[in-house]
Structure formats: C-alpha cells, structure tokens
C-alpha cells in the first residue's frame, strides 16, 4: 500500500481532497463514517472481508445484527468501498459482491408487500443476518484463541537435555549385498570395464588374495612366499595366490627378493 495513515492525515490537514467519490471531492471524512480519522487506511486495510466490514458498521453504531437497518448500512458500506478504491487498496471481488447483495436486499424491502399471507415468506435480510452471526461467532472464537497461552510466547519449554550417544556395533545396518552386486555391475557397464579381456583377469579371488597378502605384510617385514600359499586351497588356490603376488608386483605395491636361486622368495611392502 502506498499511502500511510500519517500521510493521509497530512493530506487532510492541507485541505486537499481526501478522496474523490463518484467525481465528488471529499475534503473531510464523511461524518457518518464511524472510524478514527488518523487511522483511515489502517482501519480500511484491517477488514477481513465484507462480512467483517459490515459487522464493524453495525457494531460501531451500537446496532443489533438482527435489526440490520439495510438502507443505512448499504449506503455506508458503499461509501467505504469507494474510499478503499480511491486509496487504491486491494479490493477483493467479494466486497463488490456484497455491495450488490446489499443493494438487492434494499430494493426487495422497498417493494410493497402485496399479500398479507406472505408474511411467512423469508425476510430478504435473513440469509445475510445468518451469515453475519455465523461469521461473528468464529471471529470471537479466533480472538479468544489468540489469547490462549501459546508456546514460545506465553510459556516456554525446557530444551532437549543432551546425552552421550552410545554407539553400538549392531547399530550399523548391513548393506544389501544383492544391491551391491548390481551397483557394481552397473558401474562396470557404465565404464565399459566389462570387456572380456579385462574381465578374465579380474578374478575376485585374486583380488581377495591380494588384500589378504597386503594385510599379512607389516611395514618393513618380510614374508616368506611359501607362507602365503595354502595347500588346503588346492591347485586353483595356489594359482590364485601366485597371480595375486604377480598382480601386486605389477601394481608396484610389493617387492620380491631372493638371496639366491635356492633360497626362499620373500615379499615385502614397497
């Protein structure tokens, strides 16, 4: 909103029209508008819709909703709407709709009653009164609601008191091994690692053996090649171990030394 209420006040002070309603300049706020002059815009802005505005008009004149003097209220309502439009307040379409409704009720009431028996017919104001009452109930409830004690405004909670998280081994969730296989497979596909040539060399058991060998080796410690071999693993086991050693040498992770042709082969970390 571009006009602050203080500015509105200034405008009033220097006798420049406060607003133009239907081309007619308003130097002062109309006397029959019940609102504090120094808070024009604030008041206008603070209505929560047409029902709220109507309720305000009724209450500010100490009228009963049930009386709803429709002619008077309609005129005032329209004046407000005009003011709001002139102040370029964002006006919801609902305000215009209500103006039309009010005008309709007014015209209905002005029509003379033709038949005495139609007293049973609903007063044209009834629906609007019902809506005003309904709205007022919830408006009042919302005010009481706002007065209820609320956390972090009217009362405070203790903060979470800290504690030491005790880590337990079982807390670790295992990885889904099947998923692991698939993940690896996909990776291999992505990188075209899975060419027959490469694959044949990449025996998992060789890889595992390589790790086993590296694990057995301590820094600056020599390990007899024979100790790496495990007879119980059979022929293929021996080949795997041998391949593992060759692969490790190729990767320059280990060194192999032999004092002479007859002596044992020792391996050590590079």
Which of 109, 110, 137 is closest to 51 using CA atoms?
137
Q: Which is nearer to another protein, 22 or 159 (CB)?
A: 159
Residues in region 8-67 near another protein by CB under 8 A: 46, 48-52, 65-66
Minimum distance, C-beta of residue 15 to another protein, in the bound complex (Å): 34
Cβ proximity to another protein, 16 vs 187, nearer residue? 187
Nearer to another protein, 23 or 196 (CB): 196
Q: Residue 253: how many CA atoms within 13 Å on its side-chain side?
A: 13
At 269 the three-state DSSP class reads strand
- Pick the piece of the chain touching another protein (CB under 8 A) from 1-9, 30-38, 107-115, 153-161: 153-161
What are the C-alpha distances in Å from 191 to residues 194, 265, 268? 8, 37, 33
Least Å from the CB of residue 101 to another protein: 10
Q: Which of 107, 59, 251 is nearest to 68 (CA)?
A: 59
**By CB under 8 A, residue 81 contacts another protein:** no
- The yes or no reply on residue 126 touching another protein (CB under 8 A) is yes
Q: What are phi and psi of 26, to 5 degrees?
A: -105, 110
Q: Which pair of tokens denotes residue 81?
A: 């709407």
Candidates 163, 220, 250, 260: give the one binding another protein (CB under 8 A).
163
> Is there binding between residue 187 and another protein (CB under 8 A)?
yes
Are the C-beta atoms of 257 and 222 separated by less than 8 Å?
A: yes
Q: What is the DSSP letter of 175?
A: P
Is 220 a binding residue for another protein by CB under 8 A? The answer is no
**239, 205 contact by CB (below 8 A):** no
Q: What is the per-residue binding string for another protein in 229-258, x denoting contact by CB under 8 A?
A: -------------------x--xxx-----
| Residue 153 within binding range of another protein, rule CB under 8 A | yes
**Cα separation, 27 vs 15, whole angstroms:** 6
For residues 220 and 223, give the distance between their C-alpha atoms in angstroms, rounded to a whole number.
Answer: 10
* Contact pick of 7, 32, 38, 208 for another protein (by CB under 8 A): 208
> Smallest gap, in angstroms, from Cβ of residue 38 to another protein?
21
Residues of this chain, 84-103, that bind another protein according to CB under 8 A? 92, 94, 98
């Amino acid at each position: 909103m571009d006009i602050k209420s203080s500015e509105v006040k200034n405008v009033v002070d220097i006798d420049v029209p406060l607003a133009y309603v239907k081309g007619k300049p308003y130097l002062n706020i109309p006397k029959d508008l019940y609102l504090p002059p120094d808070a024009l815009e604030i008041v206008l802005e603070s209505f929560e819709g047409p029902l709220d505005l109507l309720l305000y008009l009724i209450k500010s004149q100490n009228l009963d909703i049930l009386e709803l003097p429709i002619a008077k209220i309609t005129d005032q309502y329209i004046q407000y709407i005009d003011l709001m439009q002139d102040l370029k307040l964002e006006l919801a379409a609902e305000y215009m709709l209500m103006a039309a409704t009010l005008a309709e009720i007014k015209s209905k009431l002005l029509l003379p009653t033709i038949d005495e028996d139609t007293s049973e017919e609903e007063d044209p104001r009834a629906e609007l009164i019902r809506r005003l009452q309904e709205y007022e109930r919830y408006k009042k409830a919302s005010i009481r609601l706002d007065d209820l004690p609320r956390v972090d405004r009217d009362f405070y909670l203790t903060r979470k008191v800290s504690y030491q998280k005790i880590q337990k081994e079982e807390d670790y969730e295992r990885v889904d091994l099947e998923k692991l296989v698939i993940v690896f497979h996909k990776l291999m596909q992505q990188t075209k690692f899975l060419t027959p040539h490469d694959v044949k060399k990449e025996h998992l058991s060789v890889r595992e053996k390589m790790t086993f060998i590296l694990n057995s080796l301590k820094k600056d410690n020599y390990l007899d090649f024979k100790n790496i071999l495990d007879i119980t693993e059979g022929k293929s086991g021996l080949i795997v171990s041998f391949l593992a050693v060759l692969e490790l040498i190729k990767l320059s992770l280990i060194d192999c030394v032999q004092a002479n042709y007859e002596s044992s082969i020792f391996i050590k970390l590079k």
